[in-house]
Structures are given as structure tokens and as C-alpha cells.
């Protein structure tokens, strides 16, 4: 059974550009969440999608957006990149939701460097 | 107040010894889940163990066990017979509520180094 797949693994972008990251959840998982990890701020929740709808959003500016497709794959977009957006972006998928707490599995992450 | 507190920034443990990584949490929600993840230098977050707030028994997964003390709001990870491959960052995380919330709140992590 394939795990959570994130592409690309590494990205280098220039300030002001935009970037799109992709996450394919474990087959059958319908919830996808995104996190940003930086040395200074640690792991921070960006947003969560379930059945193509954003259900939860963290405290990030509107430059950070996302979407989920009917096959549960999700994309995250960051526009007008800033140096501070350099981070490891992690995606997590969960099987069940609304039925109590369940396990969440992460992908390998996309390491974004903004220069 | 911090929702997840990990007070040990770094730990050094001799190979084959047991190790306990501390985690305390803060929530007023009666339904929550507690997670431990391992993050090697490659960056991937590896799920280790999960404990639900209503679970009667402490969770165990192979060499990993979770010492869940609900009244103390403590969820320490115990790794038995440590191995060199256990060297990594370890994160405790919490999910609050039972419906429609998949958000995990993470602690600052503990860097575990296993010494041969």
C-alpha cells in the first residue's frame, strides 16, 4: 500500500514567484492537511481539506492557498514568495473523520528554498 | 499557554537502554488524540504511536509504548532497547475534538541521540 506522496521533494524559487506543491494521500484517505516546518517556528498547521472543501485554516496570510480534487489529491499554492517562506512543507492524510480520533500519516515533505 | 510541551530539547542515551521522552498537554476538550512522530534527518514524519483520550489502556507498538497519565495530562513515549537507528527528532502532537478537526498541534520536539 503506497504511503503519502509529495512532489517535488526539493524546490528552489526566487522571491516574488509562486509555487505549487502536490500531495497524494494514502488510497482511501479523504482528509489532507498541510503543515509548514521551520527552525524558528517549528511545525505549524496551514489548512485541512476534506471532500474538496477546506475545513480548517491556520494563521497564515492569504498568499497561502490550497485545494483538493475529487480523487483526494491536494495542492498547495504560495504566491509572491518571500524569503521567510523557505521551509519544509509536510502533507498528512487521515482515513476517517467525524468518527473520533484516527491516525495521521505524513509524506516525505517538499523542501522549498526561496532565494 | 502551550498546548504541547516537550521539555527535553536533546537527550543522549546508550544503545540498548530504554528511554523516556516527556510530553505534557493542555486541553479542555474531553475528546482528543495524542500522537508521537519520529523525524529523521531526511525530513519525513514517521508515525509511531497513537493514544485516544478515551482509551483505557496505554498504547503499545513494538518497542514503543505510550505512558498515558490522563489526570496529569502527560503522554510520555517510552522506547525500549534503543537502537542506533532511533537517533532522530521526536515530536509529540495532539488533535482536539472528535468531529471535523484534523489539525495537529505539535510540541517543539526532542532530539534523541543513541550512543554506541
CA B116 to chain A, closest CA, distance in angstroms equals: 27
SS3 B110: strand
CA B101 to chain A, closest CA, distance in angstroms equals: 7
DSSP state of A8: -
Question: Which pLDDT belongs to residue B100?
Answer: 67
Q: Is the dihedral of CA A33, A37, A41, A43 positive or negative?
A: positive
At A96, the pLDDT band (50, 70, 90 cuts) reads: low
CA A12 to chain B, closest CA, distance in angstroms equals: 17
Nearest by Cα to B37 from A46, A108, A25, A28 = A108
Across chain A, mean pLDDT equals: 92
The reply to whether residue A106 touches residue B37, judged by beta carbons under 8 angstroms, is: yes
Percentage of the residues of chain B whose pLDDT score is greater than 90: 79
Residues 6+ apart with CB under 8 A from A108: A6, A9, B42, B43, B44
Exposed / middle / buried, residue A91 (Cβ in 10 Å: 0-12, 13-18, 19+): buried
The reply to whether residue A31 touches residue B102, judged by beta carbons under 8 angstroms, is: yes
At B77, the pLDDT band (50, 70, 90 cuts) reads: very high
Question: What is each CA distance from A98 to A7, A19, B61, B88, B94, in whole angstroms?
Answer: 28, 32, 25, 32, 16
- Collect all residues of chain B within an 8 Å Cβ-Cβ radius of residue A58: 103
Mean pLDDT, residues A7-35 taken together: 96
Question: Which pLDDT belongs to residue B101?
Answer: 73
Total residue length of chain B: 116
| DSSP per-residue string spanning A20-86 | EEEEEPPTT--EEEEEEEETTTEEEEEEEEETTEEEEE-S--TTEEEEE-TTS-EEEEE-S--GGG-
Mind listing the pLDDT tens digit for each residue in A38-82? 999 999 999 999 889 998 899 999 999 999 999 999 999 999 999
Mind listing the pLDDT tens digit for each residue in B3-50? 999 999 999 999 999 999 999 999 999 889 999 999 999 888 999 999
- Collect all residues of chain A within an 8 Å Cβ-Cβ radius of residue B52: 100-101
- Collect all residues of chain B within an 8 Å Cβ-Cβ radius of residue A102: 33
Return the C-alpha torsion angle A10, B90, B59, A103, nearest 10.
Answer: -20
For residue A88, is pLDDT > 90? yes
Amino acid at each position: 500500500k503506497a504511503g503519502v506522496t509529495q512532489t517535488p521533494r526539493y524546490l528552489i524559487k526566487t522571491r516574488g514567484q509562486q509555487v505549487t506543491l502536490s500531495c497524494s494521500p494514502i488510497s482511501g484517505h479523504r482528509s489532507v492537511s498541510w503543515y509548514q516546518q521551520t527552525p524558528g517556528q517549528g511545525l505549524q498547521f496551514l489548512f485541512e481539506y476534506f471532500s474538496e472543501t477546506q475545513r480548517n485554516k491556520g494563521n497564515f496570510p492569504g498568499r497561502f492557498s490550497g485545494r483538493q480534487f475529487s480523487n483526494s489529491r491536494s495542492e498547495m499554492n504560495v504566491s509572491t514568495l518571500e524569503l521567510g517562506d523557505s521551509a519544509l512543507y509536510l502533507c498528512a492524510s487521515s482515513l476517517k473523520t467525524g468518527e473520533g480520533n484516527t491516525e495521521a500519516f505524513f509524506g516525505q515533505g517538499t523542501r522549498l528554498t526561496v532565494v | 499557554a502551550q498546548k504541547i510541551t516537550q521539555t527535553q530539547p536533546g537527550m543522549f542515551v546508550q544503545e540498548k537502554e530504554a528511554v523516556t521522552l516527556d510530553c505534557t498537554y493542555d486541553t479542555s476538550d474531553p475528546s482528543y488524540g495524542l500522537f508521537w512522530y519520529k523525524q529523521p534527518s531526511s525530513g519525513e514524519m514517521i508515525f509511531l504511536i497513537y493514544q485516544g483520550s478515551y482509551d483505557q489502556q496505554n498504547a503499545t507498538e513494538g518497542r514503543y509504548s505510550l505512558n498515558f497519565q490522563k489526570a496529569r495530562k502527560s503522554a510520555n513515549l517510552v522506547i525500549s532497547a534503543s537502537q542506533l537507528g532511533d537517533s532522530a527528532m521526536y515530536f509529540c502532537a495532539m488533535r482536539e475534538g472528535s468531529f471535523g478537526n484534523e489539525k495537529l498541534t505539535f510540541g517543539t520536539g526532542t532530539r534523541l541521540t543513541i550512543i554506541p
